Amino acid sequence: MPTASEIREIVHDYIDRMCAGDIDGIMAHFADDATVEDPVGGQLQRGKEAVRAFYSFAAPALQVELQGPICVAGNQCAFPLLAKLSMNDTVSYLDATDVFSFDDQGRITSMRAFWSMEELRNSP
């Protein structure tokens, strides 16, 4: 199982790769059978192909910034983000909390993002 320090390093790298739109770099952090639920309650993406398709669509439009501590408990973590969404000429912001679960090799097995479109706003 990854240590708390290793989990925090993975999250920081994930955020850097999200901001760079580095899909291959993002995918390197995910297990083959990983799931992504973003937002929670939305469509569940299962497996590398589905997860890659999700990030290929989402990452180019997003810039994310860590807004607080990465809280680690066992093989899971939660952390707050500010997301900047750019679509065409429109820029919007929203707050999210991401929750990751990891396998023994430090790969993400589950990513869940808690946010709501009702909280979308025009300024940070």
Quote the CA–CA distance of 113 and 5 in Å, as a whole number: 21
The model carries a pTM of 0.95
pLDDT of residue 31: 98
pLDDT of residue 79: 98
| H or E element in which residue 64 lies | strand 62-66
Task: Give me the catalytic one of 14, 24, 89, 95.
Answer: 14
| Residue 55 among the catalytic residues | no
Peptide bond into 39 cis (omega under 30): yes
Task: Give me the catalytic one of 22, 38, 93, 103.
Answer: 38
| Residue 38 among the catalytic residues | yes
Q: What pLDDT digit, counting tens, does each position of 47-102 carry?
A: 999 999 999 999 999 999 999 999 999 999 999 999 999 988 899 999 999 999 99
